[in-house]
Structure formats: C-alpha cells, structure tokens
C-alpha cells in the first residue's frame, strides 16, 4: 500500500453548535472516508463521500475550556494500492453562557431606575457584543426607567466567530405600599451572583433585595400623625430625641413626593403641617434622618 501524506489543514476557531464545512477534493481521488476524534464532541452521521463532497461537521461541546477536533481523512484513488492521507483540525469553544433572572418583580409605581447586568458570562471568544430587545440597546447593562411596563426582555450575547446565545427576562409589576417602594434605594441593580448557570442552585435576585442601614419601625412606631382623616392641619408627634435635624416628606400613592419640610432639633417633639394644598386622598408621610426613618399614613378629606 502506497500512502501520500497531504498534510494538515487547520480551520478557523469554531463555536459549539456552528456548522463547519470543508470541501474534500484532490486530483486522482475517487472517494473519501474518515474518522473523527474525539467523536463525542461532534454530532456527525456521515463519514464517507465522493471526491468533491462537502464534509459537514457539527461540533457539540460543553466543556469549560476549548478542545481540538481532528478529522483523519483517507482518499481512495483509481490506482490500486494508493491512498491519500489528510488531517483536518479545528479548535472548538464552549457555547456562550450567562445568567439573568427569569423574573424581575417591580413595584408598579416605583420611581427611579432598575439596572440589569448579566452575570458570569463564559464561553465563546471575547470580547462579547450585546443586543437587548425590544429596546435595541447594545451595552452590557440595560437600564429601565420609570414608569415600568410588564412584558418580556430578550438578551442576545454574541462574539466575532459566530457564537450566539440568548435568554429572556419576564418583567412583572406588583402592587406595593409606600414602605416597599421607599425602604431601599430608588435605583435598583440586578446583578446575578457568580454561580454556574443552569446548575439547579441558582437563586434569582429580587429587585427588592437590599441591606438596611437605618432603623425601620412597624406598628409600634414612636411616630404618629393626628388627626387623620383631616381636612386642614395635621400634627406630627414623635417620642424619640432628635440628635440631628430631620426631614418630613409627603408622597402620594403613586410614589411622587409632593412636599418636603425640614425638622430642626430645636422644634421638640411635634410639628404641624398644613394639608390644604393636598387633594382628598391617601398619602404617606416619611419622617427621617441618618439615624432612623418612620412612615405614617395620612388621609385627607
């Protein structure tokens, strides 16, 4: 048997899931047959073809780093006892993977912004490009602005060699009371923790997650408002001692601030406010400084 080594052809780097093609043609060859290694990294079903056949490789690789796929080609000629040997190799990269929450719940009247950033982007060949739909944004981070809307947001992450992955986020709106909308920062950031995607242990973040840095009081609040309902003045009363000046803010049920008043340490333990500029309805009164924050409910009739 006479063998002629035609050498090795190296194809460009490929992405898992791409279709890789190569035309098998050499003079004097009548047909080809081949093997592939590692065979577990491809989904090929055809391993022979006539001269001029287009070999189609279907790499499917999910490892953590790249791998080399090798095709060992044998070209049979019309001359008995003569064959051509050829190698075809390429590097395959794992697919792009990233983390985003499946669902983000936002208070329907929340002011400010919600920032979404995909976490733990792996695979493919960086640098990555991004496309958010339906907004068309192309930055890695998407900023949603109030007023917020329910629906789906799609994110496609891709690179320069054809690796593409997409995922979607459902935005849900929910009814919230004043405390839920204002107990944390007005601007929220959604940034998944660095865990392996799709491992069954990923906990999606809640837009309400935060670390409290001020005192929050429930039903036993030392801050009271009376009378309520009221058609004129209301008096704010507190039992704590002010070590620094505070502020009183009045918000409507949509979360818009309608009034802001200073409270000085010299004012003692009460402050009177005039509500005649407010339309009849329900309002939330925030009393705070750097040491505490209390929220009360005011009804204007």
Question: Which pair of tokens denotes residue 88?
Answer: 């075809």
Q: How far apart are CA 160 and CA 55, in angstroms?
A: 23
**Measured between alpha carbons, how far is 200 from 184 in angstroms, rounded to an integer?**
29
CATH number (2.60.40.3010, 3.40.50.2000, 3.30.565.10, 1.20.1090.10) of 2-93 reads: 2.60.40.3010
Kindly report the CA angle at 38 between 32 and 42, in degrees rounded to 5? 75
DSSP assignments along the chain, one per residue: -EEEEEEEEEPPPEETT--EEEE---TTEEEEEEEEESGGGB-----EEETT-EEEE-B----SS-EEEEEEEEEEESSTTEEEEEEEEEEEEPPPEEE--SEEEEETT--SEEEE--EEEESS-SSPEEEEETT---SSSEEEESSP--EEEEEEEE-TTS-EEEEEEEEEEE---HHHHHSS-SSEEE---S--TTSS-PPPPPTT-----SEE--TT-SEEEESSSBSSEEEEEE-SPPSS-EEEEEEETTS-EEEEEEE-GGGTTEEEEE-TTSPSEEEEEEEEETTEEEEEEEEE-
pLDDT for res 189: 67
Burial-class residue 11 by CB neighbours within 10 Å (0-12, 13-18, 19+).
Answer: middle
pTM of the model: 0.56
Check if the beta carbon of residue 262 is closer than 8 Å to that of residue 288: no
Please state, in angstroms and rounded to a whole number, the distance separating the CA atoms of residues 150 and 68. 45
pLDDT reported for residue 212:
29
Backbone angles phi, psi at 182, to 5 degrees: -120, 5
Residue 106 CA: distances (Å) to CA of 117, 203, 207: 16, 17, 6
Predicted local confidence at residue 255, as pLDDT:
64
Boundaries of every domain in the chain: 2-93, 97-190, 215-300
Q: What is the pLDDT of residue 206?
A: 35
Q: pLDDT tens digits, the chain, 301 residues: what are they?
A: 889 999 999 999 999 888 899 999 999 899 999 999 999 899 888 999 999 999 999 998 888 889 999 999 999 998 888 999 999 999 999 989 898 888 888 888 888 888 999 988 989 999 999 999 988 899 999 999 888 889 999 999 999 888 898 899 999 988 876 655 555 455 666 666 443 333 333 333 333 333 323 333 344 568 889 888 888 899 999 988 888 889 898 887 666 677 888 898 888 898 988 888 888 888 888 888 878 888 888 888 8
Other Cβ atoms closer than 10 A to 262: 10
pLDDT value at position 21? Answer: 94
**Could you count the other beta carbons within 10 Å of the beta carbon of residue 48?**
13
Residue 188 corresponds to which tokens in the numbers above?
Answer: 């929220």
Architecture of domain 97-190: Sandwich (2.60)
| Pick from 255, 236, 133, 251: nearest CA to 186 | 255
Phi-psi region of 276 (alpha: psi -120 to 50; beta: other; left: phi over 0): alpha
The CATH classification number of 215-300 equals 2.60.40.3080
d(C-alpha 74, C-alpha 32), whole Å: 6
Neighbouring-strand partners of residue 54: 23
């Amino acid at each position: 048997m006479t063998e002629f080594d035609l050498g090795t052809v190296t194809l460009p780097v490929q992405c898992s899931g791409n279709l890789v093609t190569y035309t098998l043609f050499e003079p004097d060859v009548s047909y080809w047959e081949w093997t592939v290694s590692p065979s577990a990294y491809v989904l090929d079903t055809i391993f022979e073809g006539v001269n001029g056949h287009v070999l189609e490789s279907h790499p499917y690789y999910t490892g953590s780093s790249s791998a080399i796929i090798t095709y060992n080609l044998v070209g049979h000629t019309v001359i008995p006892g003569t064959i051509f040997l050829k190698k075809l190799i390429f590097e395959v990269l794992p697919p792009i993977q990233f983390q985003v929450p499946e669902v983000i719940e936002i208070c329907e009247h929340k002011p400010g912004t919600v920032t979404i950033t995909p976490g733990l982007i792996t695979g493919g060949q960086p640098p990555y490009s991004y496309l958010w739909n339906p907004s068309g944004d192309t930055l890695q981070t998407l900023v949603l602005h109030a007023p917020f809307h329910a629906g789906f947001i799609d994110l496609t992450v891709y690179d320069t060699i054809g690796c593409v992955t997409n995922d979607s986020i459902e935005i849900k709106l929910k009814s919230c009371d004043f405390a839920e909308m204002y107990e944390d920062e007005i601007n929220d950031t959604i940034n998944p923790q660095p865990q392996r995607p799709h491992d069954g242990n990923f906990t999606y973040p809640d837009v309400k997650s935060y670390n409290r840095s001020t005192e929050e009081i429930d039903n036993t609040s030392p801050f009271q408002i009376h009378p309520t309902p009221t058609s004129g003045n209301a008096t704010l009363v507190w039992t704590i001692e002010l070590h620094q000046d505070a502020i009183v803010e009045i918000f409507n049920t949509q979360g818009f601030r309608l009034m802001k008043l200073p409270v000085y340490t010299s004012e003692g333990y009460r402050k009177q406010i005039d509500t005649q500029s407010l339309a009849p309805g329900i309002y939330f009164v925030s009393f705070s400084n750097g040491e505490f924050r209390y929220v009360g409910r005011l009804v204007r009739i």
